[in-house]
């Protein structure tokens, strides 16, 4: 992406609207009196979550949950990063992408999906403002004006449905209210990395209120293409997003919340780098330079997404009735130089290193729409029993185009295939809580789901001269039951113990990337049975809070994706069984006056158990560590860990404040995240095993007028760590790397 492209993107209608929102925020800020921040207390405030579809104290919910909000999110988003910034920021969460900002892949407890197809399903569901974001493109919606992020670990099939066997990542936007307020948050950093977000909340009458929020992120191109001798030509982006909400609440017995949102992204697709891994090791080559690549293919990425939802609530005596209607639409196109270099060994010059053949491809989402509808009723009895039940409908229509380009022939299209999938799902669910005694509560639920997919795909042009495939079809159906049963025992007012067993499932998946293959692959229904037990406690007079759990999950018929290999073809598989087990810890405490510590960590052991499962290993000359299979060119993956599943993750923050006056302070905050080594693919090899990754940040600042204003200097990836975080295995030792180190300044004002 060239700089003039960035300038054009900056003048798009969405980003013009975003700019007007920021101007309006600043104007409202100047017109209002300061709203004092809450008085700082050395006692930790209670945490309220909606993991069970209603507001509850996190201590009373028998699920392993972590939350992020307020300053924690401000710190992480200051450097203009996308949703991947949450990786390892809470126990057992990993997020990565071979599409860059557009297509995040989530993993909880090592359980996820490396599939890069735009039709890929994931076992981690993302819920934004009570609406599931099913397609992977929808899951990259930026984080701004968010009240709280909740990470729910383990199966969540009863209340959140299919495709949640690993867990749920849940975002809740700040809702409109009857207070005139808002904020404006601006930062600028290395490579002209800008992050600007703001919100305006306006009471319109005693019954109506509105909230408009927006985000703009930008980074200059800063990577040189030494093949074309173009300086600062890659790795830039422009991203804008906006959300408008309107709340009608004439009484406590009825409310209607209307939400519309949009997102635009234009920039560099994932930047692949040929032969950056030293053969026989997982080290970077000695002459590696982050700011230089040498590619002869095109690199571009565009994304447009819009959506809306209507959330209605009626209070009728002892009951509350909810209706949630959602609509999402997305279009995207991403093209990249997959071999990560230039030329080929048979068409010199070529490099860097050995390039056996050129590879340049693209995927597009020309058509997509998702419609969801939920009706739910919940009770509010004064007695020991309460319940909720509902009906749910999901519909998705998705169209995908896949292209291959003849790089050595001017980039003309030499391969083309298309896919279409219609997905209908229906569910009925119910859950209940029963207070057996004043100290023990029993909870349980069940959900029945029907899921049907109608899929078709065809190849029209083959890069190898093969004939068209004709239209290939698949029509998998699933009928499944999810459930959960748990108990919470209150030892005293500060300590709860809990135990939970839950079953979840993932509906069948279909893979139809026919540019490089002639057949479809279908993965059957996957299910998981999970057990966990833990403790949640406040102690030291609520100056400290602890959550700890241990768990085991048995995944039956797990859907796996054999990515790449010598044929560069994605193939869906079902492993007979996988086992996940481990432990998780969340800890937060005031160690001393104005000294706040947060600490989190997890241990996740994952293992594939299927002696009859074999895959094709790399075609790039890597050092394969698995035993050979019965068929030539295959290896056994029995006993391997799941891909992108770190054994250990950890996070740490420490904040210290020095009061200057009664309404101002200097502060210092450092934050760190760690994940241990990961395999990039189902097979194990020396080269495609990512090294442990430790990244830290530092923030030094001053806030005044009871927190109304804040000015800070910050750094992300302060140590400048560079790691290969993913690979392309079919051609050469190609990899892609983590985000660079940046330094910047940030200013935030609140009304």
Dist CA 647 CA 217 (whole Å) = 33
**Residue 695 pLDDT greater than 90, yes or no:** yes
pLDDT at 26: 43
Burial class (CB in 10 A: 0-12, 13-18, 19+), 632: exposed
Q: What is the DSSP letter of 20?
A: H
**Residue 5 pLDDT greater than 50, yes or no:** no
The whole-chain average pLDDT of the chain stands at 93
Dist CA 232 CA 238 (whole Å) = 15
**Residue 57 pLDDT greater than 80, yes or no:** yes
Dist CA 595 CA 659 (whole Å) = 12
Q: What is the DSSP letter of 44?
A: P
- Judged by DSSP in three states, 93 sits in strand
pLDDT at 566: 64
- Judged by DSSP in three states, 82 sits in coil
With contact defined as beta carbons under 8 Å apart, do 725 and 690 qualify? yes
**Interval 456-467 mean pLDDT:** 95
pLDDT at 23: 44
Q: What are phi and psi of 533, to 5 degrees?
A: -145, 145
Dist CA 469 CA 36 (whole Å) = 67
With contact defined as beta carbons under 8 Å apart, do 66 and 59 qualify? no
- Judged by DSSP in three states, 4 sits in helix
**Residue 18 pLDDT greater than 80, yes or no:** no
Tokens of 532: 């966990």
**Residue 564 pLDDT greater than 90, yes or no:** no
If one counts every other C-beta atom within 10 angstroms of the C-beta of residue 464, the result is: 9
State how far the alpha carbon of 226 is from the alpha carbons of 229, 451, 700, 731, in Å.
Answer: 5, 50, 37, 21
Dist CA 607 CA 635 (whole Å) = 16
**Residue 38 pLDDT greater than 70, yes or no:** no
pLDDT at 41: 59
Tokens of 587: 């800890």
With contact defined as beta carbons under 8 Å apart, do 106 and 133 qualify? no
Specify the residue for token string 């390039």.
Answer: 355
**Residue 402 pLDDT greater than 60, yes or no:** yes
Tokens of 68: 């992020």
**Residue 701 pLDDT greater than 50, yes or no:** yes
Among 377, 474, 497, which residue's Cα sits nearest to residue 429? 377
Q: Domains in the chain: how many in total?
A: 1
**Residue 689 pLDDT greater than 80, yes or no:** yes
666-687: string of b/e by CB count within 10 Å (b at 16+)?
ebebbbbbbbbebbbbbbbbeb
Tokens of 241: 């997003």
**Interval 208-227 mean pLDDT:** 97
Phi-psi map region of 518: left, alpha, beta (phi>0 left; psi -120 to 50 alpha): alpha
Dist CA 141 CA 590 (whole Å) = 33
Q: CATH no. for residue 138?
A: 2.40.170.20
pLDDT at 110: 97
The fraction of the chain above a pLDDT of 70, given in percent, is: 94
For the chain, the straight-line distance linking the first and the last C-alpha, in angstroms and rounded, comes to: 38
Q: Alpha-carbon torsion 137, 110, 290, 72, what sign?
A: positive
Q: What's the pTM value of the predicted model, to 2 decimals?
A: 0.94
With contact defined as beta carbons under 8 Å apart, do 184 and 200 qualify? no
Question: Could you report the per-residue pLDDT of 471-491, keeping only the tens digit for each?
Answer: 999 999 999 999 999 999 999
Question: Could you report the per-residue pLDDT of 721-748, keeping only the tens digit for each?
Answer: 999 999 999 999 999 999 999 999 999 9
Specify the residue for token string 């892949």.
Answer: 105
pLDDT at 14: 53
Tokens of 364: 């597009």
pLDDT at 568: 67
pLDDT at 599: 97
**Residue 20 pLDDT greater than 60, yes or no:** no
Question: Could you report the per-residue pLDDT of 266-302, keeping only the tens digit for each?
Answer: 999 999 999 999 999 999 999 999 999 999 999 999 9
**Interval 427-455 mean pLDDT:** 98
The fraction of the chain above a pLDDT of 90, given in percent, is: 91
pLDDT at 40: 44
Among 404, 680, 732, 422, which residue's Cα sits nearest to residue 561? 680
pLDDT at 659: 94
Q: What are phi and psi of 392, to 5 degrees?
A: -140, 140
pLDDT at 27: 41
**Least confident stretch, 18-32, 70-84, 103-117:** 18-32
pLDDT at 173: 97
With contact defined as beta carbons under 8 Å apart, do 69 and 147 qualify? yes
Domain of residue 603, residue span: 3-750
Dist CA 619 CA 354 (whole Å) = 13
pLDDT at 42: 82
């Amino acid at each position: 992406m060239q700089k003039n492209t960035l300038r054009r993107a900056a003048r798009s209608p969405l980003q013009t609207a975003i700019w007007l929102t920021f101007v309006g925020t600043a104007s409202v800020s100047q017109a209002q009196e300061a709203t004092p921040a809450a008085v700082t207390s050395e006692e930790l405030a209670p945490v309220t979550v909606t993991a069970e579809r209603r507001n509850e104290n996190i201590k009373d919910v028998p699920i392993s949950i972590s939350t992020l909000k307020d300053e924690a999110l401000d710190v992480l988003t200051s450097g203009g990063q996308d949703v991947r910034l949450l990786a390892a920021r809470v126990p057992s969460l990993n997020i990565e992408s071979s599409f860059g900002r557009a297509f995040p892949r989530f993993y909880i407890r090592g359980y996820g999906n490396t599939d890069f197809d735009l039709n890929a399903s994931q076992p981690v569901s993302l819920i934004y403002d009570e609406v599931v974001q099913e397609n992977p493109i929808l899951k990259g919606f930026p984080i701004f004006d968010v009240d709280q992020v909740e990470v729910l670990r383990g199966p969540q099939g009863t209340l959140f449905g299919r495709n949640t066997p690993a867990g749920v990542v849940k975002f809740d936007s700040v809702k409109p209210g009857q207070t005139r307020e808002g904020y404006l948050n601006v930062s600028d950093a290395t490579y002209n990395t800008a992050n600007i977000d703001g919100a305006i909340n306006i009471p319109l009458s005693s019954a109506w209120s509105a909230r408009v929020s927006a985000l703009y992120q930008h980074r200059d191109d800063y990577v040189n293409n030494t093949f074309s001798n173009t300086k600062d030509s890659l790795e830039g982006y422009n991203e804008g997003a906006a959300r408008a909400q309107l709340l009608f609440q004439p009484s406590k017995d009825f409310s209607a919340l209307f939400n519309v949102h949009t997102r635009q992204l234009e920039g560099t697709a994932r930047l692949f780098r040929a032969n950056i891994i030293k053969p026989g090791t997982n080290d970077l080559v000695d002459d590696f330079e982050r700011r230089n690549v040498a590619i002869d293919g095109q690199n571009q990425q565009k994304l447009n997404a819009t959506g809306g939802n209507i959330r209605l609530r009626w209070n009728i005596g002892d009951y509350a009735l909810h209706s949630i209607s959602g609509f999402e639409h997305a279009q995207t196109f991403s093209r990249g130089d997959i071999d990560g270099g230039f030329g080929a060994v048979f068409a010199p010059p070529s490099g860097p290193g050995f390039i056996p053949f050129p590879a340049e491809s693209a995927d597009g989402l020309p058509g997509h729409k998702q419609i969801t509808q939920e009706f739910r009723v919940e009770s509010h009895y004064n007695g020991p029993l309460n319940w909720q039940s509902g009906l749910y409908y999901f519909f998705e229509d998705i169209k995908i185009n896949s292209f291959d380009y003849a790089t050595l022939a001017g980039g003309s299209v030499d391969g083309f295939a298309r896919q279409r999938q219609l997905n209908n799902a229906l569910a009925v669910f119910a859950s209940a809580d029963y207070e057996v005694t004043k100290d023990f509560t029993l909870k349980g639920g069940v959900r029945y789901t029907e899921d049907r997919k109608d899929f078709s795909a065809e190849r029209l042009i083959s890069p190898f001269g093969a004939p068209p495939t004709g239209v290939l079809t698949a029509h998998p159906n699933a009928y499944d039951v999810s459930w959960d049963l748990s108990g919470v025992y209150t030892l005293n007012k500060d300590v709860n113990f809990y135990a939970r067993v839950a079953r979840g499932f993932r509906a069948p998946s279909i893979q139809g990337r026919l540019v490089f293959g002639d057949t479809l692959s279908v993965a059957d229904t996957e299910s998981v049975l999970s057990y966990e037990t833990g403790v949640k406690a406040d102690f030291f007079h609520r100056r400290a809070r602890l959550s700890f759990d241990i768990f085991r999950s048995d995944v039956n018929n797990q859907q796996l994706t054999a990515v790449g290999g010598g044929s560069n073809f994605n193939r869906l598989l079902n492993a007979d069984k996988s086992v996940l087990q481990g432990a998780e810890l969340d800890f937060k405490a005031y160690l001393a006056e104005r000294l706040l510590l947060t600490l989190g960590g997890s241990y996740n052991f994952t293992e594939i158990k299927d002696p009859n499962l074999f895959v094709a290993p790399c075609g790039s000359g890597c050092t394969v560590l698995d035993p050979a299979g019965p068929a030539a060119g295959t290896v056994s993956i029995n006993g391997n860990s799941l891909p992108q599943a770190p054994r250990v993750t950890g996070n740490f923050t420490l904040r210290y404040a020095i009061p200057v006056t009664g309404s101002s302070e200097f502060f210092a905050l450092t934050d760190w995240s760690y994940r241990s080594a990961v395999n990039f693919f189902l097979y194990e090899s020396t080269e495609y095993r990512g090294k442990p990754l430790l990244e830290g940040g530092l923030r030094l600042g001053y806030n005044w007028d009871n927190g109304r204003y804040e000015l800070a200097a910050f750094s992300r990836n302060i140590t400048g760590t560079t790691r290969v975080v993913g690979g392309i295995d079919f051609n050469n030792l190609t990899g892609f790397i983590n985000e660079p180190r940046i330094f910047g300044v940030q200013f935030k004002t609140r009304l």
